[in-house]
Amino acid sequence: MVAMSGGVDSSVVAGILVRRGYDVMGVTMQIWQESQTDPRHAGCCSLGAVEDARGVARRLDIPYYVINFKKEFKDQVITRFMDEYERGRTPNPCIECNRHVKFDALMQKAREVGCDMLATGHYARVRKDSRTGLYRLLRARAKDKDQSYALYSLSQEQLSKAMFPLGELFGKSETREIARDLGLALADKPDSQEICFVSEAGGYGEFIKKNRPTAFSDGDIVTEEGKSIGKHGGIGLYTVGQRRRIGLNVEGKPLFVLRLDPSGNKVVVGNNEALMKRSVVFDDQLGHLSKPTKVVGRIRYNMQPAQAVLYPGEPFTAEFIEPVRAVTPGQAAVFYRGETVVAGGPIRSPSAPKPARQLQAAPAVRRSERRKS
């Protein structure tokens, strides 16, 4: 089964697998909601995407189906998305969709109809460790397209049944070239950039305001010392590191969101330097590590991996060698040894650094990694 979003990536996956001789079935998840103003253009898996995916299936001569996952998507992705913003956290809906819909509900459907594997258009790789027998999630060869960050939470069962053919390619240009070679009309179709279930003109803020008005009561914008310096229109409009909608300065320097206080309905602001942190507390969901480990990691999808030391515990703590900006509760922290994902989970908060004696090896990580590079 190939999950076809109507974009060039998943379309090329279907074409690659047909060429390799697999018995391929194309499926699009119907996830758009009645509340959307125009579901024809609501990103991947929209009505417009169905038309494109159906055309690709016709070109490849494979069976194609649309399966209704509206309830699963609403319960597991949209409701969680709004819950997190109301709690003063910033979610990543793509991670929740991968975890609960694509590789849970859709994978179950694949088994029910007799498919051995579920293939998607993600740029990532899966390898089975011959020594341990465990399946490992690896970064894509095309580092600028790597999507392992959004797949970190997949279980061993899910990884054993997942296929990511694009993870072996060297970039989007190669994907588009394959699409042209396959004769696919959407070879040059632009990538979808927006949250797929948000079609409101005002973006995610208007979406939450419409569907979860309790996240939008007026409150105070305060300094770290607790001094009120302005008003906000609801914490659902803000995230850590944000400058937009603040519009305030202190001594000529702009202010940014440092943290959100949902219990007091406050947005706490400060200067950019206050956003720089070395320590990150997160809930590891993989359970692979039992001792301090040198890694590289990301605390958001578009961040370049940075060197760190992981300290297992409940919860985990990551100590970055250089400060990272805007540690955001609700986002995922994902860490790698080499190409392999070894830890990951939702961020709780920044924290005080570990005692210096526990970080004596940290500078050596930086020097040794530079020698290796």
| Residues acting as catalytic residues | 97, 196
Contacts of 361 (CB under 8 A, 6+ apart): 294, 309
User: Both tokens of residue 85?
Assistant: 């913003």
Is 356 exposed, middle or buried, given 0-12, 13-18 or 19+ CB atoms closer than 10 A? exposed
Q: Which residues of 50-77 are buried (b: 16+ CB within 10 A; e: fewer)?
A: bebbbbbbebbebebebeebeebbeebb
Which residues neighbour 20 within 8 Å (Cβ) at sequence distance 6 or greater? none
Residue whose token pair is 């989007």 = 172
Query: Residue 49 belongs to what H/E stretch?
Result: helix 47-60
Q: How long a stretch of residues is the chain?
A: 373
Give 172: exposed, middle or buried? Use CB within 10 Å, 0-12, 13-18, 19+. middle
- 204 within 8 A of 195, measured Cβ to Cβ: yes
Number of other residues whose CB lies within 10 A of the CB of residue 304: 7
Q: Return d(Cα 145, Cα 123) in angstroms, integer.
A: 6
The single-letter DSSP state of residue 80 is H
Taking a C-beta distance cutoff of 8 angstroms, is the pair 106, 27 a contact? yes
> What one-character-per-residue DSSP string does 97-140 give?
HIIIIIIIIIHHHHHHTT-S-EE---SEEEEE-TTT--EEEEE-
Task: Compute CA distances 263 → 6, 88, 209, 235, 326, whole Å.
Answer: 42, 9, 18, 11, 21
Task: Confirm if 163 and 12 have CB atoms less than 8 A apart.
Answer: no
